[in-house]
Structure 1
Amino acid sequence: MPIGCFGGRTLTRIVCRLASSVAVAWAYSRAHSAGVSRLRSLASVGPGDWPTMSAHTYPDAPALRTPDGVALTMRGLEDRASRLASALRAAGIAPGERIAILGTDSVGYAVTLFASLKLGTIGAPLNYRLAAAELAALTALADPAVLVLESRYAHLFDDLRAAAPNLRLVLTLDRPLSGVASVEEFTDAHDPPGQASLPAATSDDDVLLWMLTSGTTGTPRVVAQTQRMIKANTAKGVLEQGFQPRECLYAGTPLFHVSGMGWLYYAISRGAALMLLPQFDATAVLGCLRSGVVTRCLLVPSMVVALLDHPDVGPVPALRSIAYGGSAMPPELVRRLHDTFGCDLYNTFGAGTEGGGQTILRPADHRAAFAGRPHLLGSIGRPMFGVDLRLCDADGNEVGVGTVGEIRTRSDTVMSGYVGNPELTATKVVDGWIRSGDMARRDDEGYLYLAGRVDDMILRGGENIFPAEIENVLVDHPTVAEAAVVGLPDQRWGQIVVAAVVAGPGAVPDPDELRAHCRSRLAGYKTPARVVVVATLPKNASGKTVRAQLAATLAVTA
């Protein structure tokens, strides 16, 4: 239609609207080209927004608990995290800079994590179980602008500061130290008390966490986790385990660990609370369970043993579920767990820091196992929601049912890569699929059964042997609490199978009896040539057996 057909006012309105649209489009284009689109930032919901959303819906619901009671409500957590983020921003701390955190689990630790998520800085949790030299090496890798540490680790301050040339701010999680303010003091000085809410200005491609690990090889690595990965991991866990608002969760793994941190995210995103204990203590955990406050918990096998062997253990009616994982758990221990607590059980398995959760054995699977399908207790379950899983040979070809292959998965929970190490990243993530290094076989129902790690495989006379299969048989013997199997050099066979076992309470394992036990359930070539009884197995800071160290010890004692 010709312009002249419009009335003057109509034409003016059209021109103004067009001009306005062009201006908005230009402004959006300019912001988008700079990578800081405000429109996109406001539309994107990040994990830093989870306290905000839960505070809107459940303002007075508990967010963080301790055995003494409610430490922070949802509204309180949102206020504290927003004010700390504002204070850090006022002090010149910018998105993308690192905030290293060293401490046991505490309210201040959780607040600092969410403040970092809101600000768009990169949280870099440090494993307090590591030696001073290891912590200094990881701090150097993180190169933080901010160091937040618990006062009990003050003796490490000088070494950590020397390892971080760009460090500009140091805070404590609890009481102030000489010349070092606490998080609470720092927050009050820059952002006085008062209800505050700071939306997270982050996008799904932003890296929000550097998970620092020394690994079983001792080689430090920095795993970059994006907002997308954190959100996908959290959504997957909430969906699979069915967490509900106003529940209370407890994770035996610490906040510096991907699973402990994950349970914090599960809780706050869902409007539930997290029970905080400085470190795992069987008596304290049983007290929390018996109080009826904790409804869900996550435990690794050693924690399960500590709880089941505790003199005060017994049924806990309020407990809805227990998730276990971290390392293989003997079927008989799973049965004891079920017989004692009677709640739903989940066996969760994954590539953790690099790949997130991969498989899960659900409560229905456990019930089927107890009802006459006991082999399922040896399974790590089937793929989790949103996970595409393959078992592949060394060339990347998918293997068939019953054949052992490496677990490879693709999902939104795969890491961005190893910081500063593209070569290692390229070997770990291939065409979007993460190579877990875990070997497993699949049955005709889709259940997966671990066989061990790629690097742990023993080659005896041309036969591939996976330690996990032998270890499961050994720990099924009543005298054995723990077992680890390694391959040692042999002139005739190339390698032979050697096992180390830790005695159960009051038991005295007999090596010949254990070898006969294995021979009755395994092929001859898989039966250990030697069984050695040891006081403990060498483990790293994450509680996993260091097989290289064990093999070196067993070689010397041969």
Structure 2
Amino acid sequence: MARQLSLVPAPPPGPAVLTDVWPHVRAALDGDAPLAVVPADPGPAARAAAVLRPEVPLEDGADLVVLTSGSTGDGRGVLLTAAALRASATATLARLGGPGGWVLALPVSAIAGLQVLVRSALAGRPPAVLGPGDRLADALVRTPGERRYTALVPTQLRRFLAAEPEALRGFDAVLVGGAATDPALLAQARDAGVAVVTTYGMSETSGGCVYDGAPLDGVGVRVTAQGIELSGAQLAQGYRLDPAATAEAFVVDGAGTRWFRTRDAGAWQIGTRRAYSPLDPAVAEQARLVVEGRLDDVVVTGGVNVAPPAVEAALREHPDVADAVVLGRPDAEWGARVVAAVVPSPGAVPDLAVLRAWVSERLGPPAAPKELHVLDAVPVLHTGKPDRRAVTRLIEGT
């Protein structure tokens, strides 16, 4: 019997999540009522409906459909089964030390926020929800269980580290993902006694599946010339109403293992050495996965590959810069030029020559931005990730 997909609007952050979304997610995990949690704003909601097409019967087996961020388009609907979501949540809880109470601080229209609900459901208790203006310390007090966890994006970690470091120290683990986390920020958090855990994953893997560079139990990782590829019970079925994209992204090898092609560049870090080929089993236990950015985002300037996340991290370390997004733009001489859009620190006036010297000293001259734009804030997608298309429009004045 064909099942229909229900679109559930994500309420603003706050207690309404527990009445408007939490029961639906629990029903989806039981296989009773498939759903997609979508942005509530009219424009994004209309785009979500156009992609997900709830009037068309749902593919067999799917229980939850997650709309990807759409950083390079309108996004895709990722088909997840209850079994995949449970496998991901179970592996996460095993790595962290067992079930506990969660503070939900992320939007539930994206996989990271939804997984907080899934892990809470497995623990048998709803999360404490952080609303606008709420103090993290107050949410922590409301968090049930002997062990307490939360999940943040790097911007939130930076903000809470400055405002409420004592609250962050109250968590048994603070998962940080959704975007590259600056090494300096991680070092600052760990020096402050925060049990921060970096996560790598995406909607197609039911959320994070590599923690601090090490795959969760049951997760396979391989680094190829085509990028990082992932396998395991947490993988999605594919994409909603898009068999061609599914066949391109999900492949089965000669041994019958199904892999997801992430299109992220990566390497294995072994001590101070990086390996870009299959690991020698003798060193596999010591290796940690390093994500070097999207293959499509690499800026080739003057024949040199520049990874925007590395430049962004360097810029954020400068005292005049609070946040940064780095892009490539066409250049008649260089092929592409590195462009930086930055949010100034309070009272600061970023200077291109100063920032060029700063980046050049750390990453080499090709990585130094050749163009600088100042923003009031970095626009973000519904997932909390930077909206690079919006940044480009701001830069171009369109």
The answer to whether the superposition gives a TM-score over 0.5 is yes
Query: Does the 8 A contact of 2:153 with 2:176 survive in 1?
Result: yes
> In percent, how many aligned pairs have the same letter?
27
Q: Would the alpha carbon gap of residues 238 and 529 (structure 1) be closer, same or farther in structure 2, given more than 3 Å must change?
A: same
Look up the match of 1:43. Answer: none
Structure-2 separation of matches of 1:358 and 1:119: 23
Are 2:262 and 1:436 aligned?
Answer: yes
Q: Would the alpha carbon gap of residues 250 and 165 (structure 1) be closer, same or farther in structure 2, given more than 3 Å must change?
A: same
Q: Which has the higher contact order (CA 8 A, sep 6+)?
A: 2
Residue type at the aligned position of 1:434: F
Structure-2 separation of matches of 1:206 and 1:269: 20
Structure-2 separation of matches of 1:240 and 1:95: 37
CA deviation vs aligned residue, 1:361-394 (integer Å, no higher than 9, x gap): 1xxxxxxxxxxxxxxxxxxx22222111111114
Residue type at the aligned position of 1:249: W
Look up the match of 1:139. Answer: 49
Look up the match of 2:214. Answer: 382
The counterpart of 2:111, out of the listed 258, 268, 277, is: 258
Q: Would the alpha carbon gap of residues 454 and 509 (structure 1) be closer, same or farther in structure 2, given more than 3 Å must change?
A: same
Residue type at the aligned position of 1:139: A
Structure-2 separation of matches of 1:458 and 1:317: 38
Query: Does the 8 A contact of 1:252 with 1:300 survive in 2?
Result: no
Look up the match of 2:293. Answer: 452
TM score, norm. by length of structure 1: 0.61
The counterpart of 2:97, out of the listed 235, 239, 242, is: 242
- Correspondence 1:193-342 to 2 at 5 A: 206-213=61-68, 215-244=70-99, 247-277=100-130, 279=131, 281-289=132-140, 295-310=148-163, 314=166, 318-340=170-192, 342=193
Greater Rg by CA = 1
Paired residue total: 369
Query: Does the 8 A contact of 1:223 with 1:417 survive in 2?
Result: yes
Note the C-alpha offset of 1:451: 1.9
Structure-1 separation of matches of 2:208 and 2:392: 30
Query: Does the 8 A contact of 2:111 with 2:202 survive in 1?
Result: no
Are 2:319 and 1:478 aligned?
Answer: yes
CA deviation vs aligned residue, 1:192-221 (integer Å, no higher than 9, x gap): xxxxxxxxxxxxx82111223451133242
Structure-2 separation of matches of 1:316 and 1:442: 30
Note the C-alpha offset of 1:339: 4.4
Q: Would the alpha carbon gap of residues 358 and 288 (structure 1) be closer, same or farther in structure 2, given more than 3 Å must change?
A: closer
Structure with the higher strand share, 1 or 2: 2
Query: Does the 8 A contact of 2:109 with 2:382 survive in 1?
Result: no
CA deviation vs aligned residue, 1:472-504 (integer Å, no higher than 9, x gap): 111111221111111111112211112121112
Structure-1 separation of matches of 2:56 and 2:183: 50
Note the C-alpha offset of 1:140: 4.8
Note the C-alpha offset of 1:318: 4.5
Structure with the higher helix share, 1 or 2: 1
Structure-1 separation of matches of 2:80 and 2:56: 24
- Indicate the SS of the match to 1:386: coil
Q: Would the alpha carbon gap of residues 322 and 307 (structure 1) be closer, same or farther in structure 2, given more than 3 Å must change?
A: same
Judge which range, 432-441 or 290-299, deviates more: 290-299
Residue type at the aligned position of 1:499: A
Q: Would the alpha carbon gap of residues 282 and 326 (structure 1) be closer, same or farther in structure 2, given more than 3 Å must change?
A: farther
The counterpart of 2:203, out of the listed 352, 358, 364, is: 352
Q: Would the alpha carbon gap of residues 302 and 316 (structure 1) be closer, same or farther in structure 2, given more than 3 Å must change?
A: closer
Note the C-alpha offset of 1:360: 0.9
CA deviation vs aligned residue, 1:404-444 (integer Å, no higher than 9, x gap): xx111111111111121111112211222211122122222
Structure-2 separation of matches of 1:212 and 1:301: 21
Structure-1 separation of matches of 2:206 and 2:222: 14
- Indicate the SS of the match to 2:362: coil
- Indicate the SS of the match to 2:63: strand
Q: Would the alpha carbon gap of residues 119 and 331 (structure 1) be closer, same or farther in structure 2, given more than 3 Å must change?
A: closer
Q: Would the alpha carbon gap of residues 464 and 332 (structure 1) be closer, same or farther in structure 2, given more than 3 Å must change?
A: closer
Look up the match of 2:3. Answer: 96
Where structure 1 has 5 or more consecutive residues not aligned to the other structure, the ranges are: 1-93, 145-163, 167-204, 362-380, 395-405
Q: Would the alpha carbon gap of residues 283 and 261 (structure 1) be closer, same or farther in structure 2, given more than 3 Å must change?
A: same
Are 2:239 and 1:414 aligned?
Answer: no
Where structure 2 has 5 or more consecutive residues not aligned to the other structure, the ranges are: 12-16, 253-257, 271-285
Residue type at the aligned position of 2:64: L
Structure-2 separation of matches of 1:222 and 1:385: 26
